[in-house]
């Protein structure tokens, strides 16, 4: 009995395949899946690539301005969440970054000026370059990179600055 039923459904399938109704259903499903995927990519892409890039740039610029102004808590808040958690520990990367950056600002009068963005192949990361400017406005050395990444809570934060 089940063999006859299988044969029946097989022939029904072939008939539907011939008249195009299965292909039509398949095409409709594929179209719907593509639309949903496009919507999801647009939603995420808007945050990561489109609107997110300006936000990421603003975070990087704010990071250096807060360093220049000596605002440790504000500066720390621009770091990735996990880096904020270790920033107060002596010997941590954030501790070293703060002391190094402040030394450049306090002793040498360095200021940081946004230069450019380097496109990365990752949608959740941005790399910006800043010129180091001496007190007299001249450039000091090569531009320094600042890597900004989309954090676990969806906010752009600094992952790796340079001073």
The per-residue pLDDT for 58 is 98
Q: Which residues form the domain of 36?
A: 2-160
Strand partners, 146: 128
What confidence category does residue 7 fall into, taking pLDDT thresholds of 50, 70 and 90? Answer: low
What is the Cα gyration radius of the chain?
A: 27
Choose among 98, 106, 103: nearest CA to 135: 106
Per residue in 94-143, pLDDT (tens digit) is 999 999 999 999 999 999 999 999 999 999 999 999 999 999 999 999 99
Cα 4 from Cα 118, distance rounded (Å): 65
147-162: average pLDDT: 97
> Which CATH number characterizes residue 7's domain?
3.10.450.100
pLDDT digits (tens, 9 = 90+) for 30-66: 565 455 545 544 444 444 444 456 999 999 999 999 9
Whether residue 29 is predicted with pLDDT greater than 70 in this model: the reply is no
Please give the average per-residue pLDDT across 13-26, as a whole number: 65
Phi, psi (degrees; rounded to nearest 5) at 139: -75, 145
pLDDT at 72 > cutoff 90: yes
Give yes or no for a contact between 141 and 132, defined as CB atoms under 8 angstroms apart.
Answer: yes
By the 8 A CB rule, do 68 and 112 touch? yes
pLDDT of residue 47: 45
Report the C-alpha gap between 92 and 66 in whole angstroms.
Answer: 19
In total, how many domains does the chain have? 1
The pLDDT score that the predictor gives to residue 147 is 98
């Amino acid at each position: 009995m089940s063999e006859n039923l299988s044969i029946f459904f097989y022939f029904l399938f072939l008939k539907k395949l011939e008249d195009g109704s299965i292909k039509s259903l398949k095409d409709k499903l594929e179209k719907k899946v593509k639309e949903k995927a496009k919507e999801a990519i647009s939603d995420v892409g808007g945050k990561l690539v489109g609107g997110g890039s300006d936000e990421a740039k603003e975070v990087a610029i704010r990071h250096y301005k807060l360093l220049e102004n000596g605002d440790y808590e504000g500066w720390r808040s621009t770091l990735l969440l996990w880096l904020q958690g270790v920033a107060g520990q002596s010997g941590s990367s954030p501790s070293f970054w703060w002391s190094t950056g402040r030394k450049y600002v306090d002793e040498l009068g360095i200021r940081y000026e946004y230069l450019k963005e380097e496109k990365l192949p990752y949608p959740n990361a941005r790399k910006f370059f800043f010129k180091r400017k001496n007190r007299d406005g001249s450039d000091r050395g090569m531009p320094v990179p600042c890597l900004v990444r989309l954090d676990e809570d969806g906010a752009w934060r600094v992952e790796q600055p340079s001073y």
